[in-house]
């Protein structure tokens, strides 16, 4: 299941390669226009069993045949905090992070307490996580959760703050009106749900669709992204792509090429759901194309850059800050967090 989310985030790259055609030519040039071998970009991801590492692996597989100015090296890491440190230490040029972590780094809070790290810039939003509440019969609205135990993951991070915000906006106090039991990882909770060991659980895609396919006693009763939209005008902003500030400045054409292929591929996958579904099933990520087709629309694959990216992130951080300043590291991010192109 972890491999699937990774693929779905970079799946578009595969389709763009097939749809657009073309191979890397022999007259590759560097950013100065001189003929040379492509330069290496190191992308910091996550643990080898996690989502971000798999994202990087698929990106490398696809982009190595498209990029003319660079090649992509994927590094397994300790996830978002470690990725910021690799950017700072010059061990990586790009990384995949959770949006709250990049802000903690710039503000010098949480894991970066007293030691701000500002050389990592947010260059693109890559997905707005779609989270579902799955439940057995009897739950249809947020209000129906009163007096219930809900199982989730992501304690101490943005997912927890989002859930708490939605509950409070619906008149429910977490820990009093609703008991929330946290599991360490999404796959652990999904396994419990497949076994029928929990009555109500909160899961992102693709875990939600996997559970529904294997245990018909659950229904998709609430979409937390939609519930967030009912109580807030801000969009959710989750995963982001970051790059070293000095690398961007010194290699603008390399960054431009990388981002261009990423954008084209995301547009393709969002407009070619059936092609994506067939690909996923063919490569063993889903049992059937139909199951994949049912899941892709819920994955919220995006490519947001520039002023739109900053506006989306700022509005999201503002709502969370007003609810609990600690959720965004105590400060709403300054403009210096973003690379606007």
Query: pLDDT digits over 179-194, tens only?
Result: 999 998 888 999 999 9
Domain final position from 231, 246, 274: 231
Q: Number of folded domains in the chain?
A: 2
pLDDT band at 121 (very low <50, low <70, confident <90, very high): very high
Same domain, 100 and 86: yes
* pLDDT computed for residue 110 by the predictor: 85
Does 12 have pLDDT greater than 90?
Answer: no
pLDDT at 207: 83
Q: What is the pLDDT of residues 77-94, one digit of tens each?
A: 988 899 999 999 999 999
pLDDT of residue 33: 43
Report the CATH number that the domain containing residue 252 is assigned in CATH.
Answer: 3.40.190.10
One domain for residues 119 and 166: no
pLDDT-derived band at 47, boundaries 50, 70, 90: confident
Closest listed residue to residue 83, CA positions, set 71, 100, 101, 107: 101
According to DSSP, the β-strands at 301-304 and 200-204 are unpaired
Nearest to 312 by CA among 226, 227, 238, 235: 235
pLDDT score, position 30:
46
Same domain, 76 and 11: yes
Q: Greater confidence, 294 or 96?
A: 96
The verdict on 117 and 241 lying in the same domain is yes
Note whether 204 and 284 are same-domain residues: no
Residues 112 and 12 in one domain: yes
Q: Average model confidence (pLDDT) for the chain?
A: 81
56-61 mean pLDDT: 70
- The confidence score (pLDDT) of residue 1 equals 42
What's the confidence (pLDDT) of residue 178? 97
Per-residue pLDDT, 31: 47
pLDDT average, residue stretch 104-124 = 90
pLDDT band of residue 28 (cuts 50, 70, 90) is: very low
Asked whether residue 222 falls in the same domain as residue 283, the answer is no
Determine the pLDDT at residue 291: 72
Q: Is the pLDDT of residue 144 over 60?
A: yes
Identify whether the C-beta of residue 338 lies closer than 8 Å to the C-beta of residue 118: no
CA distances from 162 to 194, 219, 235 (A): 25, 21, 12
User: Would you state the structure tokens that stand for residue 137, as one six-digit string?
Assistant: 């019969």
Do 137 and 77 share a structural domain? no
The confidence score (pLDDT) of residue 236 equals 77
- Looking at the fold, whether 156 and 219 belong to one and the same domain comes out as yes
| Residue 152 sits in the same domain as residue 82 | no
51 contacts 79 by C-beta, under 8 angstroms:
no
**Distance separating alpha carbons of residues 339 and 341, to the nearest angstrom:** 6
Among residues of the chain, what percentage have pLDDT more than 70?
79
Residues in Cβ contact with 220 at an 8 Å cutoff, skipping those fewer than 6 apart: 132, 133, 134, 208, 212
**Domain final position from 216, 231, 246:** 231
Name the least confident of 71-85, 139-153, 229-243, 245-259. 229-243
Q: Answer yes or no: is pLDDT of 321 > 50.
A: yes
For range 95-101, the mean pLDDT: 88
| Angstrom distance (rounded) from CA 210 to CA 192 | 12
What's the burial of 195, exposed, middle or buried (CB within 10 Å: 0-12/13-18/19+)? Answer: exposed
- Look at residues 199, 214, 231 and tell me which one is the last residue of a structural domain: 231
Say which residue the tokens 């971000």 belong to: 52
Of 265, 274, 320, the closest CA to residue 294 belongs to 274
Do residue 204 and residue 143 come from a single domain?
Answer: yes
User: Same structural domain for residues 140 and 201?
Assistant: yes
Mean pLDDT of 267-271: 66
Higher pLDDT: 128 or 329? It is 329
Cα separation, 296 vs 279, whole angstroms: 12
- Give the pLDDT mean for 262-273: 68
Mean pLDDT of 45-61: 70
- Dump pLDDT digits (tens) for 191-242: 999 999 999 999 887 788 889 989 999 999 998 888 988 998 888 777 889 9
Provide the domain limits for residue 227. Answer: 131-231
CA dist 13 and 295 (Å) reads 18
Give, in degrees to the nearest 5, the angle at Cα 222 between 165 and 102. Answer: 45
Residue 243, helix vs strand vs coil: strand
């Amino acid at each position: 299941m972890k491999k699937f989310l990774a693929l779905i985030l970079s799946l578009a790259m595969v389709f763009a390669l097939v749809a657009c055609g073309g191979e890397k030519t022999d007259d590759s040039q560097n950013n100065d226009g001189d003929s040379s071998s492509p330069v290496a970009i190191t992308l910091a991801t996550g643990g080898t069993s996690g989502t971000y590492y798999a994202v990087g692996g698929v990106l490398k597989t696809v982009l190595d045949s498209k990029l003319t100015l660079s090649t992509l090296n994927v590094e397994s890491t300790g996830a978002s905090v470690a990725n910021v440190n690799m950017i700072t230490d010059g061990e990586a040029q790009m990384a995949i992070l959770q949006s709250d972590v990049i802000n903690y780094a710039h503000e010098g809070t949480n894991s970066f307490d007293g030691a701000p790290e500002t050389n990592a810039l947010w260059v693109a939003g890559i997905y707005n996580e779609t989270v579902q509440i799955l439940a057995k019969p009897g739950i249809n609205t947020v209000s129906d959760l009163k007096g219930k135990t809900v199982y989730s993951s992501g304690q101490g991070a943005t997912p927890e703050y989002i859930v708490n915000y939605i509950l409070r906006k619906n008149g429910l106090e977490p820990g009093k009106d609703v008991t929330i039991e946290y599991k360490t990882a999404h796959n652990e909770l999904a396994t419990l749900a497949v076994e029928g060991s929990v009555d109500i659980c909160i899961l992102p895609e693709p875990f939600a669709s996997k559970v529904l396919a294997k245990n018909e006693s659950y229904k998709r009763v609430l979409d937390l992204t939609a519930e967030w939209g009912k109580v807030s005008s801000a969009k959710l902003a989750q995963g982001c792509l970051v790059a070293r500030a000095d690398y961007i400045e010194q290699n603008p054409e390399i960054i431009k090429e990388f981002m261009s292929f990423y954008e084209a591929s995301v547009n393709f996958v969002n407009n070619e759901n059936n092609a994506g579904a067939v690909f996923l099933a063919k490569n063993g990520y889903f049992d059937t194309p139909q199951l994949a087709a049912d899941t892709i629309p819920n994955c919220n694959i995006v490519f947001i850059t520039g002023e739109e990216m900053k506006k989306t992130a700022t509005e999201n951080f503002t709502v969370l800050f007003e609810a609990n300043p600690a959720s965004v590291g105590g400060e709403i991010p300054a403009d210096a967090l973003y690379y606007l192109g």
